Structure 1
């Protein structure tokens, strides 16, 4: 599983994922975690974590989870087709972690829930992402 984290990190070089400081940190059967800093790249002018940064984190971790769950030899591409989020509380600390897990894993669509928590394990945002899986 550690090889997947390394591959995901390498595939995200020179992208928004790298620019926002996201790191793939943990993986298990049917779930994936990504950590993102709360700093000048991800905050609003008032210092609060930007809701758009949270949405980017959710799209990143859910898309990566879907991508690693389809057989590599079939060369599928994964595209996010819908995302929604509820921002519940202001984040505290230096980073947040998004954990994605499947609610539905079909042949052509995946529905993924992403819970974003701060360093105190406080729930900050809940997202639901629908990904489309297409032959590429």
Structure 2
């Protein structure tokens, strides 16, 4: 899909949005903005581990939802609309014990009332760790 973002923020702006949120707690950082995709990284450490020392699946889902939600927001006129998650799924394909994981989201469908985003999370060896899909509702603001 080649639809471009309506808003082109800086990485600094995107990363400031994560202050005082779960993104900051988990150490997420946006690293790349394309015409219709975003990339962010997240550390695999004590903040994101499950009890066996592996990347927690829930942490991967938080990364995926953050990417999909922010990307959806960039597709709408924020004076008139906002986006909320309707559904997210994730398939965890490979364990990671340390280092960084990188998520990249791209649109599957951008409509007037819904958006669907695909998120691939890879490790530092560029191996697929998790694949996720999020469906977002596009809602009109009530003034």
Verify same fold: TM over 0.5: yes
8 Å CA contact 1:117–1:123 kept in 2: the answer is yes
User: Normalising to structure 1: TM-score of the pair?
Assistant: 0.93
Aligned to 1:19: 25
What is aligned with 1:129?
134
Structural mapping, 1:9-88, within 5 Å: 9-74=15-80, 76-88=81-93
The structure richer in helix per residue is 1
Unaligned runs of 5+ residues in structure 1 are none
Pairwise CA RMSD: 1.5
Kindly indicate whether the alpha-carbon contact (under 8 Å) linking 1:92 and 1:118 is maintained by their aligned counterparts in 2: no
CA contact (8 A) 2:76 2:82 kept: no
Number of aligned residue pairs: 135
- Which secondary structure state, in structure 2, belongs to the residue aligned with residue 72 of structure 1? coil
Hey, what's the Cα distance between the residues in 2 that align with 1:127 and 1:40? 23
CA distance in 1, matches of 2:83, 2:10: 16
Check conservation: 1:108, 1:132, Cα contact below 8 A.
Answer: yes
1:92, distance to aligned residue in structure 2 (A): 5.3
Q: Which runs of 4+ in 1 moved over 4 A?
A: none
- Conservation of the 8 A alpha-carbon contact between 1:93 and 1:119: no
TM-score by length of 2: 0.89
Q: Is the 8 A contact 1:25 1:33 kept in 2?
A: yes
